[in-house]
Amino acid sequence: MTVFSAYSDDDILADLKAQVADGAVLTDQATLQKQSFNSNASGGRR
């Protein structure tokens, strides 16, 4: 079964950018990787 949502990724990002007037919306892979996975808990989940 194909599941699809009402909004595309582009719709969401465009909306987000419109809502954030003073700060920055970052979507480059390097930033997403770096900020999504920190290594301080190096053992992962138990």
Partner 1 sequence: MRRGGDGSGLARAVVEVQSVADIQGVLKVARKYHLPVIPQTTATSTVIGSDGIAGGLILSTRKMAQILEISKDDSLAVVQPGVVNGDLDQAARKQGLFYAPDPASKPFSSIGGNVSTNAGGMSTVRYGATKDNVLGLKVVLADGRKVTLGGRTLKQAFGYDLTQLFVGAEGTLGIVYEITVKLMPIPLGTSIMGLAFFKDMAQLAQGVTAIRMSGVYPTMLEALDGNTIGALDKYEKTHYADKSGAMLIFRLDGSSDANIQVLKDLLAKYDAQDVQVTADEDEQAQLIQLRRDMLPAVFAGQNHLMEDMALPLSQLAPMMAYIQQVGHDLGVTIYTAGHAGDGNVHPTLVWPKDQPEVPGAVLEALRRIFWKTLELGGTISGEHAVGMMKNQWNQPELDDNVDYLQHQLKTLLDPMNLLNPKRKIN
Closest CA to 27 of 17, 40, 38: 17
Q: Can residue 19 be called a binding residue for partner 1 (CB under 8 A)?
A: yes
Q: Can residue 33 be called a binding residue for partner 1 (CB under 8 A)?
A: yes
Q: How far apart are CA 14 and CA 22, in angstroms?
A: 15
- Contact (Cβ atoms closer than 8 angstroms) between residue 13 and residue 25: yes
Q: Can residue 4 be called a binding residue for partner 1 (CB under 8 A)?
A: no
Q: Can residue 3 be called a binding residue for partner 1 (CB under 8 A)?
A: no
| Interface residues toward partner 1, by CB under 8 A | 7, 9, 12-13, 15-16, 19-27, 31-33, 35-46
